[in-house]
Amino acid sequence: VPGKFNPFLPGKVALPELFAGREHEVGLLDAVLRQAKFGNARHVLLTGDRGIGKSSLLLHLKETASGRAPAADGTYFSFLVVNVKLEPSFPARALPARIERDLRAAFVELNRSKALLISAVDFVKKLEVKGFRYHDEAREPETYELIQD
């Protein structure tokens, strides 16, 4: 239809804000995240015909797991999410090493972000504007307490 925009194209991932119509599947994945949050992790196998929305569902899961989007019930998670890129010829025996490598890289980036946040908090604590300055009367928390979940 001329003049209409269809955001859903074969072979393209639907953005989470455009994702709809998979309430049952999203609910199941939310339940898996909830179980993992409480130490009862599960494995998930996602299968389906080409173009049915597997990649879009995984992108939705990534956004929910990382806390960038809420779960269906409004819960926010804060998992460290790592995308492991695999090619068809990638040997299965090398998968653990690839996951370890990508996890290490994610932790390095997370630590950089935490260090930047700590520096910003320290700066704000020292800031004084027109005679006003941040001061916690009861006790000054340790910097690491400010960034804990």
pLDDT, tens digit, 9 for 90 and up, residues 9-53: 665 677 666 767 788 899 999 999 999 999 998 888 889 888 788
Flag whether the pTM goes above 0.75: no
pLDDT, tens digit, 9 for 90 and up, residues 51-102: 788 888 888 899 899 998 899 899 999 998 988 878 889 898 998 899 899 9
How much is the average pLDDT of 5-11? 61
Which residues sit opposite 132 in a β-bridge?
129
How would you label 82-117 residue by residue, b for 16+ Cβ within 10 Å and e otherwise?
eeeeeeeeeeeeeeeeeeeeeeeeeeeeeeeeeeee
Q: Look-up: residue for tokens 């989470």?
A: 16
What is the pLDDT at residue 67? 93
